[in-house]
């Protein structure tokens, strides 16, 4: 099922998502890209999933917190799309209509990768829910961060260890899955990218933050100019 592109809307805009396994460096690169585009005069909104609105952040807590509940893959999928509907309606579409660049940390590809490839939920069912919930609305451009799960998890672990006592320290429900799960995620993401080569750019996330930032900036500016 082809994604309905954000750029189909009348105002000039760009909806970019960052995807990949844990500790791949998405958040780091989103901040760098937002800074560079902002410096070049673009209006940029950064956001994340699950989250981005009050309602969606409430759902995020249910899903990612250690004590949030033991959800089945289908229940997770439905909660994620409930959060996404609010996020698209209240944050993403309004910004795109104003001609802004929206950069989102994870979107529907995460549901395909985690709930589908990772937890075995039927991919066709995910697409049916995507049609019902969002009419398949999705990003114009996606960066898929590819990294050896061991390396990503080591980075993630370093970050958690370095954090002070705040709520994020318990956001580890997904990080605690075994390495086999993370390998499935990686292969799932690569398959998603293979199926939609025009939208998805696979980034070797093992490189330095500076190298990756330069590669991404070049691709995004190529699309914006």
Smallest CA-to-CA distance from 44 within 99, 106, 88, 108 is with 99
Shorter beta-carbon distance to ligand Z5A: residue 99 or 151: 151
Nearer to ligand Z5A, 164 or 208 (CB): 208
What is the nearest approach in angstroms of ligand Z5A to the Cβ of residue 166? Answer: 13
Q: Nearest approach, Cβ of 125 to ligand Z5A (angstroms)?
A: 14
Nearest approach, Cβ of 86 to ligand Z5A (angstroms)? Answer: 13
Minimum CB–partner distance for residue 7 and ligand Z5A (Å): 22
Those residues whose C-beta lies under 8 Å from the C-beta of residue 164, and which sit 6 or more positions away, are none
Q: Is the peptide bond before 129 cis (omega within 30 degrees of 0)?
A: no
Decide: 151 and 41 in contact? Cβ < 8 Å. no
Which residues of this chain interact with ligand Z5A, rule CB under 6 A?
20, 22-28, 49-50, 64, 80, 105-106, 110-111, 114-115, 155-156, 158-159, 174-175, 208-209, 212
The smaller minimum CB distance to ligand Z5A, of residues 13 and 48, is found at 48
Q: Please, which residue, 100 or 110, has the CB nearer to ligand Z5A?
A: 110
Whichever of 57 and 99 has its CB closer to ligand Z5A, that residue is 57
Q: How far is the CB of 41 from ligand Z5A (least distance, A)?
A: 25
């Amino acid at each position: 099922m082809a994604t309905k592109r954000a750029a189909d809307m009348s105002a000039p805009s760009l909806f970019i998502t960052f995807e990949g396994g844990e500790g791949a460096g998405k958040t780091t690169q989103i901040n760098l890209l937002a800074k560079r585009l902002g410096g070049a005069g673009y209006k940029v909104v950064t956001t994340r999933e699950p989250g981005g609105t009050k309602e969606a952040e409430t759902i995020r807590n249910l899903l990612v917190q250690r004590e949030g509940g033991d959800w089945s893959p289908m229940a997770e999928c439905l909660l994620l799309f409930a959060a996404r509907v609010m996020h698209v309606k209240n944050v993403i579409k309004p910004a795109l209509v104003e001609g802004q660049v929206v950069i989102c940390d994870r979107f529907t590809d995460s549901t395909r990768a985690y709930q589908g490839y990772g937890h075995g939920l039927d991919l066709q069912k995910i697409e049916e829910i995507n049609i019902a919930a969002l009419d398949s609305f999705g990003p114009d451009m996606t960066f898929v961060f590819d990294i050896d799960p061991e390396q990503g998890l080591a980075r993630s672990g370093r970050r958690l260890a370095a954090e002070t006592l705040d709520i994020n320290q318990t956001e580890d429900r997904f990080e605690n899955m075994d390495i086999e799960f993370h390998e499935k995620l990686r292969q799932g993401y690569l398959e998603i990218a293979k199926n939609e080569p025009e939208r998805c750019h696979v980034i070797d996330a093992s490189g330095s933050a500076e190298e990756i930032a330069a590669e991404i900036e070049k691709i995004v500016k190529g699309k914006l100019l």
